[in-house]
Chain A
Amino acid sequence: MARVVVDVMPKPEILDPQGKAVLGALPRLGFDLVTDVRQGKRFELQVDGEITDAVLARIEEVAGTLLSNPVIEDFEVHVEEHSVAEVAQGAGR
């Protein structure tokens, strides 16, 4: 089984109140190295069979119609072997 990841982020010119809230909380926790936070979404899609260009084109379509709203968000599609959970497990987190 193959995995395709879609990252969705608010466009730079769109206000991101959630990111702002997170940024506001950081100094209170003593983290003063972070100067900006933008919050987005990551989708991990399991795909049957091989990931061909045709499959990726279909995923781009999914990303542009349902997973993101092109009016306010940008997206990026890439193939990734491991899920975040697997990477975290491997790192012993």
Chain B
Amino acid sequence: MRVGVVTFPGSLDDVDARRAVSIGGNEAVALWHGDEDLKGVDAVVLPGGFSYGDYLRCGAISRFAPVMTSVIEAAGKGMPVLGICNGFQILCESHLLPGALIRNDHRRFVCVDQRLRMERVDTPWTSAYAPGQEVTIVLKNGEGGFVADEHTLDLLEGEGRVVARYLDGNPNGSLRDIAGISNERGNVVGLMPHPEHAVEDLTGPGTDGLGFFTSLVEHAFAGASA
């Protein structure tokens, strides 16, 4: 599959994300925030970083970038979209996902190899994982506290839309230990940890993140044979 990775001014992890897409067996396509053209990609990754310097609120200005008009439209039609860290913040600001991400409750930047439990594994981004599988993926953020009202949290849990949860202690104050969520359909996934930094033994805590990038291939084949 051809997977677009959007670069916003201030994106940091776009190159790593493109590399992870390739290692996962897909073709990475660079997309530019100022261009509405998605170049015919089959899926989109919104990478981590500090787009627009995190001015106003994290992701608030990126949400109105020309490329997001196309991403929001494509997501509505079922295109797989993965937002990592700053990308997750952009998805929340775009209302593609509910809730918001606020400053860590302990007010420090966190950078750790984080244990996670995978929960929703029927999405195009997570089908390579087993339900309940425990993984270690890099987490690095200053504003990673996931918040939403009680009703929304109940809805997310009730509909099985929590994609991953923090294990061994809550690193940033996220309500109900939520590390990642999806929309109802499952094609849009937002994740605070960085799977693109856990795809090679040499440069990460292992390769537990690779599943996010190989799932697309599995999903495509599953779809084709169904």
Sorting the interface of chain B by its residue count into under 10, 10 to 19, 20 to 34 or 35 or more gives 20 to 34
Specify the chain A residue showing the minimal Cβ separation from B98.
A71
> In the docked arrangement, what's the CA distance between A52 and B69, Å?
31
Q: Does B190 contact A (CB under 8 A)?
A: no
Chain B residues 46-98 with CB under 8 Å of chain A are 56-57, 60-61, 64, 92-93, 98
| Residues in B neighbouring A17, C-beta threshold 8 A | 102-107
Do residues A69 and B60 form an inter-chain contact, with CB atoms below 8 A? yes
> In the docked arrangement, what's the CA distance between A21 and B196, Å?
33
Do residues A71 and B148 form an inter-chain contact, with CB atoms below 8 A? yes
Whether A21 contacts B105 in the complex (CB less than 8 A), given A71-B100, A72-B100, A72-B147, comes out as no
| Residues in A neighbouring B180, C-beta threshold 8 A | none
| Residues in A neighbouring B98, C-beta threshold 8 A | 71
Q: Does A66 contact B (CB under 8 A)?
A: yes
| Residues in B neighbouring A37, C-beta threshold 8 A | none
Specify the chain A residue showing the minimal Cβ separation from B173.
A15
> In the docked arrangement, what's the CA distance between A20 and B173, Å?
14
Q: Does B145 contact A (CB under 8 A)?
A: yes
> In the docked arrangement, what's the CA distance between A14 and B57, Å?
15
Q: Does A67 contact B (CB under 8 A)?
A: yes
> In the docked arrangement, what's the CA distance between A18 and B98, Å?
23
Whether A72 contacts B107 in the complex (CB less than 8 A), given A14-B147, A15-B173, A66-B56, comes out as no
A80 to chain B, nearest CB (A): 21
> In the docked arrangement, what's the CA distance between A13 and B175, Å?
13
> In the docked arrangement, what's the CA distance between A71 and B93, Å?
9
Known: A66-B64, A69-B100, A71-B98. 14 other contacts (CB 8 A): A17-B102, A17-B103, A17-B104, A17-B106, A18-B107, A21-B107, A66-B56, A66-B60, A69-B57, A69-B60, A71-B92, A71-B99, A71-B100, A72-B100
Per CB-CB distance, the 10 closest pairs between chain A and chain B, nearest first, are: A71-B100, A17-B103, A72-B100, A17-B107, A69-B100, A21-B107, A69-B57, A15-B105, A17-B105, A14-B147
Interface residues, chain B, with chain A CB atoms under 8 Å away: 56-57, 60-61, 64, 92-93, 98-100, 102-107, 145, 147-149, 173
Interface residues, chain A, with chain B CB atoms under 8 Å away: 10, 13-15, 17-18, 20-21, 66-67, 69, 71-72
Cross-chain pairs A/B with CB under 8 angstroms, 9 sampled: A13-B149, A15-B105, A17-B105, A18-B107, A66-B56, A66-B61, A71-B147, A72-B100, A72-B147
